[in-house]
Amino acid sequence: MILGIGTDILNMQLLGECSLAPSDPFLLRTYSQKEQKEAAARQDSTAYYATRFAAKEALFKALYAAAGPLPDSAPKKGAEMEILTLENGAPSVHLHGNAKERALSMGVTRIHLSLSYNTPYAVAFAVLEGESGNELSD
């Protein structure tokens, strides 16, 4: 059963306003050390960061869009959501802290994530799958 969906599109030029240096406060606040390491190994780190940022936004929407007003426990966007790359190139989601607690409380058992970019835009789509949720009644 689908428990949440989220999508986001980002103009990658907005990241050009950040230095993307290892000491950049935006980078430190938004991306884990593992994400920064993966980005550094890429030829185009801006595209990497942009798709991951869009993914974090899409995940945030999927986790909290149906919740009404954001609870105090809502994570700072990105801080508790890590998007890493599997050997086959597919994105892999790792939630931590309040984001993980929210997913568990919703009954999320699997997260599907699709990332793409075509300069100057990056896009992400997230689907949360699980056993429980709101079902339509007659």
Average pLDDT of 89-102? 93
The whole-model pTM stands at 0.87
- Terminal CA-to-CA distance of the chain, rounded, Å? 18
Given a cut of 50, whether residue 108 has pLDDT beyond it is yes
Q: Which residue has 């429980």 as its token pair?
A: 132
Does the pLDDT of residue 62 top 80, yes or no? Answer: yes
In the predicted structure, residue 100 carries a pLDDT above the cut 90: yes
d(CA 138, CA 104): 28
In this prediction, residue 134 has a pLDDT band, given cuts at 50, 70 and 90, of: low
Closest by CA to 6, choosing from 107, 125, 112, 123, is: 125
Note the pLDDT of residue 138: 45
Tokens of 25: 């406060």
Is a pLDDT exceeding 70 seen at residue 77? no
CA distance 48 to 32: 13
Cis peptide before 71, with omega less than 30 degrees from 0? no
Domains plus CATH for the chain?
2-130 (3.90.470.20)
Higher pLDDT, 18 or 13: 13
| Mean pLDDT to the nearest integer, 62-74 | 71
The CA distance from 82 to 99, in Å, is 10
Confidence tier at 92 by pLDDT (50, 70, 90): very high
